């Protein structure tokens, strides 16, 4: 992802607050609205690089929060256990073992490098979000929460409906920190059904 010449308010704030990315404020808003981060729970961070979401979870959730992250890029000084591979390749049993049981929160800010072709980018993003949904469905404890980034497009509604079937409450959110021109939004699944 190329650096934008003029950092916006959230970019400057992230730097001042010691976070590696402005995306942390998307998670912060989701948490403030829906209380998704467990206290000292087990959290799986899909697409964990550069580490801002994991750091925020540790800060809000407490020192005993058990973090497992997956990303193709290694996060230096990651505050949990990181798998440096694709989310399509990590076996569910390995993730459950690393978590020490079921997850209380599965969160995904994953995105492919965008091509500029809106349809191609949408399809790739939906594939990632669907894999996040599959992992959350397999790993979350009953009552657990799910947060996933999705790109607007023709397949988004069906994905949201699949997510809705797994949770007591499902919300579609476009946090203030999402750039106005962006097609991204987040789906928040609250209370994984048993």
Tally of structural domains, the chain: 1
Task: Please write the tens of the pLDDT for every residue from 66-83.
Answer: 999 999 999 999 999 999
Mean pLDDT for 14-26 is 69
Task: Please write the tens of the pLDDT for every residue from 89-133.
Answer: 999 999 999 999 999 999 999 988 888 888 888 899 999 999 999
Q: Are strands 167-173 and 103-108 parallel, antiparallel or unpaired?
A: unpaired
54 within 8 A of 106, measured Cβ to Cβ: no
Question: Is residue 15 a part of any domain in this protein?
Answer: no
Domain with 58 in it: what CATH number?
Answer: 3.40.50.150
Q: Which helix (H) or strand (E) holds 135?
A: helix 118-139
Percent of the chain with pLDDT over 70: 89
Task: Please choose, from the candidates 117, 106, 123, the residue with its C-alpha nearest in 3D space to the C-alpha of residue 190.
Answer: 106
Which pLDDT does position 20 carry in this prediction? 56
Question: Is residue 39 a part of any domain in this protein?
Answer: yes
Domain with 84 in it: 23-192
What is this structure's pTM?
A: 0.90
Question: Is residue 107 a part of any domain in this protein?
Answer: yes
Residue 18 has pLDDT above 90, yes or no: no
Half-sphere exposure of 38 (CA within 13 A, CB side): 23
Question: Is residue 12 a part of any domain in this protein?
Answer: no
Rounded to whole angstroms, the Cα distance separating 166 from 133 reads 9
75 within 8 A of 69, measured Cβ to Cβ: yes
Question: Is residue 16 a part of any domain in this protein?
Answer: no
Rounded to whole angstroms, the Cα distance separating 118 from 153 reads 8
Question: Is residue 3 a part of any domain in this protein?
Answer: no
Q: Which of 15, 32, 149, 174 is catalytic?
A: 149
Tokens (6 digits) for 178: 């999402």
Question: Is residue 7 a part of any domain in this protein?
Answer: no
Which pLDDT does position 167 carry in this prediction? 98
Which pLDDT does position 1 carry in this prediction? 41
For residue 64, what are the CA distances in angstroms to 28, 40, 102? 19, 5, 16
Q: Confidence class of residue 40 from pLDDT cuts 50, 70 and 90?
A: very high
Residues 6+ apart with CB under 8 A from 142: 192, 193, 194
Q: Is 58 a catalytic residue?
A: no
């Amino acid at each position: 992802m190329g650096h934008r010449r003029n950092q916006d308010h959230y970019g400057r704030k992230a730097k001042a607050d010691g976070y590696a990315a402005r995306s942390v404020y998307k998670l912060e808003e989701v948490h403030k609205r829906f209380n998704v981060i467990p206290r000292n729970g087990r959290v799986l961070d899909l697409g964990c690089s550069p580490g801002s979401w994991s750091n925020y979870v540790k800060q809000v959730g407490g020192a005993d929060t058990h973090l497992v992250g997956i990303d193709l890029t290694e996060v230096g000084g990651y505050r949990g256990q990181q798998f440096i591979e694709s989310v399509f390749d990590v076996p569910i049993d390995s993730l459950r073992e690393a978590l020490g049981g079921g997850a209380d929160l599965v969160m995904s800010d994953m995105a492919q490098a965008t091509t500029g072709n809106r349809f191609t980018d949408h399809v790739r993003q939906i594939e990632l979000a669907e894999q996040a949904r599959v992992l959350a469905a397999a790993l979350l404890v009953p009552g657990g929460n799910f947060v996933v980034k999705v790109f607007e497009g023709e397949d988004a509604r069906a994905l949201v409906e699949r997510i809705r079937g797994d949770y007591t409450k499902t919300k579609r959110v476009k946090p203030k920190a999402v750039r106005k021109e962006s097609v991204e939004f987040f789906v928040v699944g609250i209370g994984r059904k048993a």
